[in-house]
Amino acid sequence: MRISARADYAVRAVLELAVRQGGEPVKAEAIAATQDIPHKFLEGILGDLRRAGLVDSRRGGNGGYMLARDASEITVADVIRGVDGPIVSVRGVRPTGLTYAGSAEPLLPLWIALRANVRRILEGVTIADIATGKLPEPVQELAAEPAAWENP
C-alpha cells in the first residue's frame, strides 16, 4: 500500500486545522508554510476536503479554513478517502469487485484481509488522537515492533 503525497498533505493540513481548532479560520497560506506543502497543491486538497464535508471555508479578510466537525469525529481514513477515494484498491478496483480463477483464487481473500487490516488502523485513529500525541494502544504496539521500522 502506498500513501500518496496528496493523502499525506491532506492529513497534515487537517491536523494543522485541528491544533488551531476553536480560533479564527486558518488561511491556506499559513497551513502551506507551517507544513511545507506547495500552496497551489494544498488549495486543491482543501477543496476536496470541503466537498467531503471535513473542512469548512469562509471567504473574506478574516476567512480561511476550519474543521467541519470536531477532530475526534474525523478519522485518518475519512481524510484519505476525501482526497484519494477508496483506501485499498487493486489495479484501481476495490477488492470486492475482483474475481480470480484457478491458482489465483486465494488472492481475493488476501486482498480483502489486507483491506480489513488497513481500515482497522486508519478508521481507528482520529485526527484528535494525532493532535494530542495519543495514538490508540494497538497502533502504538505495532509501531513499537522493531520489524516495523525495517525496510526489507
pLDDT tens-digit profile, the chain (152 residues): 789 999 999 999 999 999 998 788 999 999 999 999 999 999 999 999 999 999 999 998 889 999 999 999 999 999 999 999 988 888 888 888 899 999 999 999 999 999 999 999 999 999 999 999 999 999 999 999 999 999 98
Instruction: Give exposure, 9-38, as e/b (b: 16+ Cβ within 10 Å).
Output: bbbbbbbbbbbbeeeebbebeebbeeeebe
Whether the full predicted model's pTM is greater than 0.75, yes or no, is: yes
